[in-house]
Amino acid sequence: MQVNAYGAHAGNQPLEPLRINRRAPNAHDVQIEIAFCGICHSDLHQVRSEWEGTQYPCVPGHEIVGRVTQVGAHVSAFKRGDLVGVGCIVDSCQHCEDCDAGLENYCDGMIGTYNFPAPDAPGWTLGGYSQAIVVHERYVLRIGHPEEQLAAVAPLLCAGITTYSPLRHWNAGPGKKVGVVGIGGLGHMGIKLAHAMGAHVVAFTTSENKREAALELGADEVVVSRDASQMAVHAKSFDFILNTVAAPHDLDAFLVLLKRDGAMTLVGAPASPHTSPNVFNLIMKRRTLAGSMIGGIAETQEMLDFCAEHGIVADIELVRAEQINEAYERMLRGEVKYRFVIDNASLAG
């Protein structure tokens, strides 16, 4: 099947309309008509070749929601008409220690939704900036939110799970002081989720004009991280800090805010490295500096169910496919509250 998509032919070229192939569903496949797809900062890193190994044409998009249009002969968990989601993972080896633990995101054979090797033409996966996608049932998620919220559910498939997973792993909850650094697509979800988990949430932003908005998202306090005096108030006080910043910055400024045994986890993946932190800031209070990548399929379903139960969706601005390049520029300038989502019906053209 040929469908319309939006992608780039090179890292220095804008995204443009493309025609791509989708395989006919195999026995365990689910074919999905994509209704909406979120725009993650990772899409921009990848399509502009800021990370290594981008293949062209590159069709990004891993915050996918839509409706099942067809299923393979052996699929029993999904049927035509179901509302479903697909996140960053479309395949994995399915038999290693990580897959067995439901942590397909850490499988060495994980196949990402775009730019990973695939048997289908053109030889690598093509993502959700397209009209339809065909995915093995193991990697398809069930959506329990009301259909009117579907567009705002899309960002949960990456921004939601990437913040939910570390917040759970490092035990965010009642009695814990949790910081969220960078109030963008990921960070705004981090605030909502940490708040819903019952933690005391402090938002760190470089943008003074996000103060009120961060409080509305559920932050108990807001700190403008460029202001050393505001930062000093919080020295040695955090159990956990989730750092979503998409650019290299001074990690020490945040490490010193952790109390004994506190941890800061990096989920932001900037194109160039951070300056190495001062080892003494780790040694002195037995602090941890860690990383985390998206989340497994079971935990992604758990996160979607948690969000449906708590009425949590992303704050979004809906755009048409032809506005994607402009949306990228605005995302870089921090001019979105907080996630662009593509209305994939605009690809019909």
Q: Which residues bind Zn ion (CB under 5 A)?
A: 40, 42, 158
Closer of 132 and 214 to ligand NAP (Cβ) = 214
Minimum gap (Å) between residue 31 Cβ and ligand NAP: 26
Regarding 249 and contact with ligand NAP (CB under 6 A), the answer is yes
Regarding 206 and contact with ligand NAP (CB under 6 A), the answer is yes
CB atoms within 10 A of CB 123: 9
Binding-site string for ligand NAP from residue 291 to residue 320, where x marks contact by CB under 6 A and - marks none: -xxx--------------------------
Residue nearest to ligand NAP (CB): 184
Closer of 25 and 184 to ligand NAP (Cβ) = 184
Q: Rule CB under 6 A: which of 15-74 touch ligand NAP? A: 40-42, 45
Torsional class of 113: left (φ above 0), alpha (ψ -120 to 50), beta (otherwise): alpha
Nearest to 114 by CA among 103, 104, 129, 124: 124
Q: Binder to ligand NAP among 8, 18, 34, 158 (CB under 6 A)? A: 158
Closer of 30 and 264 to ligand NAP (Cβ) = 264
Minimum gap (Å) between residue 190 Cβ and ligand NAP: 9
Regarding 162 and contact with ligand NAP (CB under 6 A), the answer is yes
Minimum gap (Å) between residue 293 Cβ and ligand NAP: 4
Residue ranges in contact with ligand NAP by CB under 6 A: 40-42, 45, 158, 162, 182-187, 205-207, 210, 244-247, 249, 267-270, 292-294, 331, 334
